[in-house]
Structure 1
Amino acid sequence: MNEKLKINRRHFVKTAGIGLAGFPLIANAFTRVAPSDKIRVAHIGTGNMGGAHIRWFAGFPDVETVALCDVDEVRLGKARELLVSRKSSANPDLYSDFRRIIDRKDIDVITCATPDHWHALVAIMAFESGKDVYGEKPLSFSVKEGKVMLESLKKNDRIFQLGTQIHAGDNYHRVAEIIQSGVLGKIHTVRLWKTGGTSGLGFPANETPPKTLDWNMWLGPAPYAEYTPVKCHGTYRSFFDYSGGVFADFWCHIADIMYMSVHPKGLSSIDARGEVPNDGIADTPKWIDVDFKFKDLDVFWTTTPPKVPGAEKMGIGAHFEGEKGTLTCDYENRVVSIGNETTNDVPEVPKTISRSPGHQRNFLDSVKSRQQPESNLEYAREMTLPMHLALISFRLKRKLQWDSVKEEFVNDPVANFLLSREYRSPWSLPVY
């Protein structure tokens, strides 16, 4: 690419979205976009969610997918086929080591759909190289990682969107409008739930990793472990070395509507209870219930739906209890009860929150305008934090006191030790 073309493309990426910020859907109306005006994207991690990333971003005329990366050669080959099936002109470079993508100066954006224990380091390295990031949830593996991610984003003036696609939906925006209107009165209690949990996965023997899989690179900063398929694709979240189970997987999707609606502050205590499976090697929660105490707000997470009207039909949901009424919702539905009346909306509450142009479109528009998207990193970190603290309480089997100003447990060095973990060599978490 000649220098003039580089300058033109960078100028477009930084400035074009300013004119489109109020009308983000206009970008989708383009049928032809000059190569110099396209956002150049690379996808890191090409499994289930990585495949979704490929499909989503290939559908935008102002995006060019230039590289794919996966430690599994089989998945990488299928990812290339998927991309070409969506955009026949695509000719992506293929990598097994994401650092090759980080080193490239001609890439504007990376998406990250790796296992959870890689999320933070991939994003931080991308920020440092001048790239914006669309990252899958959960935001990070640990509390400290989330803090360093935010520091790196601010230092490098980058854009980040967390892959909580449901956040962009009309239902969540409408729930937030109703609650913030005050028709339910002051919200004093929120109940969140997600049915299901980790299964034991049996007691499989260790195996030699397939020749098509770089197991050492898959492990990355996580502790070394012998390979067994259940620790890898699909079920890695069943192990605390890589994630936090179903709880870590789904927390952000439903806690998101609580943070959108009531912005809880002043978390002071976390009390988790639960069990791990006894029928296999998995060690994340078979079930987990958590009591959170915020300033003027009680929050309860349960693995089974609470005994409130309508919850029994929802595998995941949120229930808001106010002085004048209640609201129960999941991703697509809501039930509002005020006095003796039950309905799915409150027509007199006006539309006060701008609707999203679409989760991925919101991110791409932000890349152009340099204004942070809805599910930005600062918001995502605050929303993700209680999940990490709950898992620490679960593992220690006791109630914990939290100082939300200092962001540390009160007089509890053991719990504070679990806010981070040492990376396996040669990987290290940057210090800012």
Structure 2
Amino acid sequence: MKRRYFLPAVAAGLNAVRSAAASDRVNVAVIGVRGRGRALTGGFAKLADANVEYLVDVDDRVVPAALAVLEKAGRKPPKVVRDMRRVFDDKSIDAVVIATPDHWHAPAAIMACDAGKDVYLEKPCSHNIREGRLIVEAARRSQRIVQHGTQARSREITRQAIDYIHSGKIGKVVMAKAWDVQRRADIGHKNDSPVPAEVDYDTWIGPAQPMPFNENRFHYTWHWNWNFGTGDAGNDGAHQIDMARWALGVEVPTEAAGMGAKLFFEDDQQTPDTINATFRYPGKMLMFELRIWNPYGMEATENGVAVYGGDGMVQIAKWDRLWGYKVFDEKGKLVKHEQSPGEDEAHVRNFLECVKSRKAPNAEIEIGFQSVVHCHLANIVARTGRAVRYDAKNDSVTGDPEAAKLTRRTYRDHWSKPRGV
């Protein structure tokens, strides 16, 4: 294990960093309650040792659905605020869930850590590579637990698949493939429009560059705009890349190559709808394929991972709405197929247990950062049309000044601008 990966809170046995006793309930605030935030609100509401004390969102219209989730679970109504700083200032809050758009992930997580809060952070952990390292540094200096939202790390059936691969039963493993092949919507073209009265748009923009309000750069469709999102490489690709990297037993690549472009959709999306990227490590390779205009998937599934060994292959994916894995022998014959239910619950539970025990969570932030580096490099390769070399020691692209600029971003003068940028 590399020195900088080792969690200081574990090494020091800092069970006392949390003011409450380990047996107490963990008080949680959810920041961003549409989509994943609403789902995670429900996940924490199912846990008897968690209290959802705050819902935070800049769009008043999305709050009622999240409140209904808590009401259905029999939980008391939480405080509802627009400004996340209210949560960071509240000493009764132990942990925050960050499910904002990508451009807010790192700034919010860094502020939360510096305010003494543990963090459950949705993927991708950052909008760019530099921000990802800053989150790791914030977690270390504040001795905070930060769980990355790549749930496969806590999914028992996936852990079984990884153990099978690492056991040597498919022989020497030198290559894996991750794919994100599904049909996304054509978002068409929309004109800029007035900001809805219920939305604090200035706070929604946060540290990003100001842009006029546009529905095609707002709820969910922000994923496809470079100012706010990371495309589907960061959106869904983060999950598959994380599993493939885990199976290979690698950290970050030395090189990334390939190509990507917007080939299919003729709409307001900026990010690629097609990517084919290859990552190289000493003695190993990982391929990532993205096609978000595909209605028919690959290997009978939309998103998945194939791990290739000298004596067989393992596929990890969701088939018929159940996660599982398939094992093929050296002749390509299916010899094992295991499936099991399981989504977010185990990952949320793991985070909560680590908040109380101060042990490193299954998707500790450096693990998440290493996976998300691949997403950013895939996008850099797509945007530049060139292979790039990656220096893991300095978290940088070398020998290509244009590509190196894409490892960072320009921030506007805002209270959320991260330290160290």
Q: TM-score range by the shorter chain?
A: 0.7 to 0.9
Query: In the alignment, is residue 42 of structure 1 matched against residue 29 of structure 2?
Result: yes
SS for the counterpart of 2:269 is coil
- Equivalent positions of 1:283-294 (< 5 A) are 283-294=270-281
Residue type of the partner of 2:280? K
TM-score, L = length of structure 2:
0.87
Residue type of the partner of 2:301? M
SS for the counterpart of 1:10 is coil
Q: What corresponds to 2:410 in structure 1?
A: 422
Aligned to 2:19, which of 10, 27, 30?
A: 10
Q: What corresponds to 1:212 in structure 2?
A: 198
Query: In the alignment, is residue 78 of structure 1 matched against residue 65 of structure 2?
Result: yes
Moved more, 199-208 or 111-120: 199-208
Query: In the alignment, is residue 343 of structure 1 matched against residue 343 of structure 2?
Result: no
Q: Is the Cα contact below 8 Å between 1:244 and 1:285 reproduced in 2?
A: no
Give the direction of change, closer, same or farther, for the CA distance of 1:304–1:393 in structure 2 (3 Å limit): closer
- Cα deviation 1:222-247 (Å, max 9, x = unaligned): 11111111211121101111112222
- Equivalent positions of 1:121-200 (< 5 A) are 121-196=107-182, 200=186
Residue type of the partner of 1:229? E
Q: Is the Cα contact below 8 Å between 2:181 and 2:298 reproduced in 1?
A: no
Cα offset, 1:304, TM superposition: 5.5
Aligned to 1:334, which of 306, 325, 328?
A: 325
- Equivalent positions of 1:26-425 (< 5 A) are 37-88=24-75, 90-196=76-182, 200-265=186-251, 267-276=253-262, 279-303=266-290, 311-331=298-318, 332-340=323-331, 341-344=333-336, 358-425=346-413
Measure, in 2, the Cα distance between the counterparts of 1:198 and 1:287: 12
Cα offset, 1:303, TM superposition: 2.7
SS for the counterpart of 1:210 is coil
Give the direction of change, closer, same or farther, for the CA distance of 1:75–1:299 in structure 2 (3 Å limit): same
Cα offset, 1:336, TM superposition: 1.4
Please identify which structure carries the higher helix content: 1
SS for the counterpart of 1:84 is helix
Residue type of the partner of 1:421? R
Measure, in 2, the Cα distance between the counterparts of 1:197 and 1:242: 21
Cα offset, 1:261, TM superposition: 2.1
Give the direction of change, closer, same or farther, for the CA distance of 1:98–1:266 in structure 2 (3 Å limit): closer
- Cα deviation 1:86-137 (Å, max 9, x = unaligned): 224x131110111111111111011111111101111111111111011111
Moved more, 74-83 or 410-419: 74-83
Q: Is the Cα contact below 8 Å between 1:39 and 1:108 reproduced in 2?
A: yes
Q: Is the Cα contact below 8 Å between 1:403 and 1:409 reproduced in 2?
A: yes
Residue type of the partner of 1:109? A
SS for the counterpart of 2:169 is coil
Cα offset, 1:199, TM superposition: 5.2
Measure, in 2, the Cα distance between the counterparts of 1:392 and 1:241: 14
Q: Is the Cα contact below 8 Å between 2:304 and 2:317 reproduced in 1?
A: yes
Q: Is the Cα contact below 8 Å between 1:71 and 1:214 reproduced in 2?
A: yes
Cα offset, 1:327, TM superposition: 1.4
Cα offset, 1:170, TM superposition: 2.2
Q: Is the Cα contact below 8 Å between 2:225 and 2:269 reproduced in 1?
A: yes
Cα offset, 1:197, TM superposition: 6.5
Q: Is the Cα contact below 8 Å between 2:158 and 2:325 reproduced in 1?
A: no
Q: Is the Cα contact below 8 Å between 2:177 and 2:244 reproduced in 1?
A: no
- Percent identical among aligned pairs is 28
Cα offset, 1:47, TM superposition: 0.2
Q: Is the Cα contact below 8 Å between 1:137 and 1:164 reproduced in 2?
A: yes
Q: Select the structure of larger CA radius of gyration.
A: 1
Residue type of the partner of 1:52? A
TM-score, L = length of structure 1:
0.85
Moved more, 63-72 or 406-415: 406-415
Residue type of the partner of 2:328? S
Residue type of the partner of 2:336? N
- Cα deviation 1:174-215 (Å, max 9, x = unaligned): 111111111111112111111137655222111001100111
Residue type of the partner of 2:175? T
SS for the counterpart of 1:120 is helix
Q: Is the Cα contact below 8 Å between 1:198 and 1:285 reproduced in 2?
A: no
Residue type of the partner of 2:67? R
Cα offset, 1:267, TM superposition: 1.5
Structure 1 unaligned runs (5+)?
1-6, 17-36, 347-355
Cα offset, 1:312, TM superposition: 2.9
Measure, in 2, the Cα distance between the counterparts of 1:428 and 1:303: 31
Measure, in 1, the Cα distance between the counterparts of 2:289 and 2:269: 20
Q: CA RMSD in A?
A: 2.3
Measure, in 1, the Cα distance between the counterparts of 2:406 and 2:313: 36
SS for the counterpart of 1:327 is strand
Measure, in 1, the Cα distance between the counterparts of 2:42 and 2:123: 18
Give the direction of change, closer, same or farther, for the CA distance of 1:130–1:179 in structure 2 (3 Å limit): same
Residue type of the partner of 1:317? G
Q: Is the Cα contact below 8 Å between 1:196 and 1:287 reproduced in 2?
A: no
Q: How many residues align?
A: 390
Q: Is the Cα contact below 8 Å between 2:261 and 2:383 reproduced in 1?
A: no
